[in-house]
Amino acid sequence: SLAKKIKEEKMSNLVEEYFEAHSSSKVLTSDRTLQKLRKRRLNQETLHDLLKKAPLAYAAEIKELNQQHESMFSKWLLQLHLGFNIVLYGLGSKRDLLEKFRTSLLQDSVHLVVNGYFPSITVRSILNSITEEVLDHTGTFRSPLDQLEFITKRFKEDSSLELYVIIHNLDSQMLRGERSQQILAQLSSLPSVYLIASIDHINAPLMWDQAKLSLYNWLWYETTTFSPYVEETSYENSLLVQQSGSLALSSLTHVLRSLTPNARGIFRLLAQYQLEKKDNPSYPGLSFQDFYQQCREAFLVNSDLTLRAQLTEFRDHKLIRTKRGADGVEYLLIPVDVSTLTDFLENEDEDV
């Protein structure tokens, strides 16, 4: 009972720690930011190149693991045919494994591969590819439900139709919604549709309730591969990868090049003001009245109306954002991060 007591104590400690950590909104971390790091941010391409250079650790062991999983292939096929669907979980990308399953066993049969990690995939596109490619039906449907009904009917009528569906990352952003899961579940419950899917997110099982689980009829297989998620994370916008920054800068300069000198001056003024206030985290932006005053003083505008027109143009190009403060005053902000703005101003200075 002593061990039990210790365990209980540990548990209660854990619980208390949890609430302690979550009670205050203050978090103790250092204030250093990546900006201050002397190195430049990497972009997607250089990252890819660098990673190619880095050798994959424990390649031999990983290969052995994969071979273990591959020995299950024929069993999977049998189980798929008996009405179960297979779901793979575990650390590491399961893409290559599924790909291998496809090439080694499904070469001769009709199969559909769905890349769930692809950011613009939708259930509708999955259903479309079934109706168009597999069933040779060229027609549109009012709703996915109708489409599903059509598919169900066709599959029930024609027992010779068989379809293997492989879904990489069933739990990805686009497919995790309730509706899409419902439709996929119904699809997978058809006896001649065999589904094999992989999940990665730790909370993936949360998206299925009893009814869906029974439709899916899962058989779980643990396939820990330890292989890196190359394809999957290439769409994941990481904080560390420089992405939107370069794009925003070039678009910024391009748009501003096409403007009148006065308009450019207006934007400069706003940018400078924002840079001065960059250390103040609660800076709401420049209020319209103040801005108008400053622009007048710099002889950039002569009336309220012209400034408003100019700002509207900026807003259309998504160069500025207006926010209404607590006191009802309109505040103007440039929704670009500080470094890009600094770069922009430096470029401008060079040009002039």
Partner 1 sequence: LGVNVTDHDLTFRSLSDLLQNNITPYIALLEAKDCPGIKNLMQKLMAQLMNCSIDADSLEDEDYVQVSQSRIRCSMSSLIKWYKSGTQKTDSETPSQKRTSSTYWQPPPVVVIFKDMESFTTKVLQDFIVISSQHIHELPLVLIFGIATSPMIIHRLLPHSVSSLLCIELFQSLSCKEHLSTVIDKLLLSDQFPFKLGEKVLQVLINLFLYHDFSVQNFIKGFQLCILEHFFSQPLSVLCCQLVDLKKRINSLSHDQCENIRRLPSFRRYVEKQESGKQIALLTTDNFLKEETERLLEDLHVYHYNYVSVLRCLHVFTSSLPKYPLGKQIRDLHCACLENQVWETEEYESSLQLARMLNKSDLVTMLQQCVEILLSSSGKEFDKTVEKLKEFLTQFQNLEAEAFQERDGSISSQKELQKKTDLYHLQKTLLELKESRRSKKLTKFEMLRFEVVDYIDCLVRNYLVPADHRTLHEILYFNTATVLRGHLNAAPRTALHTALNNPHWYLKNQVLKCDGGSISNKAPDICIVYKLHLECGRLINLVDWLEAFATVVMAAEAPDADTASSDQVDDIIHARFIRAVSELELLGFIKPSKQKTDHVARLTWGGC
The closest alpha carbon to 122, from 147, 105, 97, belongs to 147
By C-beta, is 223 or 310 nearer to partner 1?
223
The closest alpha carbon to 169, from 209, 110, 115, belongs to 115
Written as one letter, the residue type at 172 is: S
By C-beta, is 145 or 329 nearer to partner 1?
145
The distance of closest approach from Cβ of residue 160 to partner 1 in the complex, given in angstroms and rounded to an integer, is 24
Q: What is the 3-state secondary structure (H, E, C) of 152-219?
A: HHHHHHCCCCCEEEEEECCCCCCCCCHHHHHHHHHHHCCCCEEEEEECCCCCHHHHCCHHHHHHHCEE
The distance of closest approach from Cβ of residue 14 to partner 1 in the complex, given in angstroms and rounded to an integer, is 6
By C-beta, is 211 or 309 nearer to partner 1?
211
Residue that the structure tokens 């259309």 belong to: 316
The closest alpha carbon to 211, from 188, 243, 237, belongs to 188
The distance of closest approach from Cβ of residue 161 to partner 1 in the complex, given in angstroms and rounded to an integer, is 23
The distance of closest approach from Cβ of residue 261 to partner 1 in the complex, given in angstroms and rounded to an integer, is 34
The distance of closest approach from Cβ of residue 270 to partner 1 in the complex, given in angstroms and rounded to an integer, is 21
- Name the site residues for partner 1 (rule: CB under 8 A): 14, 17-18, 21-22, 27-30, 32-37, 39, 42, 46-47, 50-51, 53-54, 57-58, 61-62, 64-65, 75, 78-79, 82, 84, 89-92, 145, 182, 199-205, 210-211, 213-214, 217, 219-222, 224, 226, 228-229, 232-233, 236, 238-241
C-alpha to C-alpha distance for 156 and 99, rounded to whole angstroms:
28
Query: Cβ(124)–Cβ(144) under 8 Å?
Result: yes
The distance of closest approach from Cβ of residue 321 to partner 1 in the complex, given in angstroms and rounded to an integer, is 15
The closest alpha carbon to 184, from 130, 236, 224, 133, belongs to 130
By C-beta, is 5 or 22 nearer to partner 1?
22
Letter string b/e over residues 253-280, b meaning 16 or more CB atoms within 10 A of that residue's CB: eebbeebeebbbbbbbbbbebbeeeeee
By C-beta, is 172 or 310 nearer to partner 1?
172
Q: Which helix (H) or strand (E) holds 298?
A: none
The distance of closest approach from Cβ of residue 230 to partner 1 in the complex, given in angstroms and rounded to an integer, is 8
By C-beta, is 5 or 40 nearer to partner 1?
40
By C-beta, is 18 or 156 nearer to partner 1?
18
Residue that the structure tokens 């505040």 belong to: 331
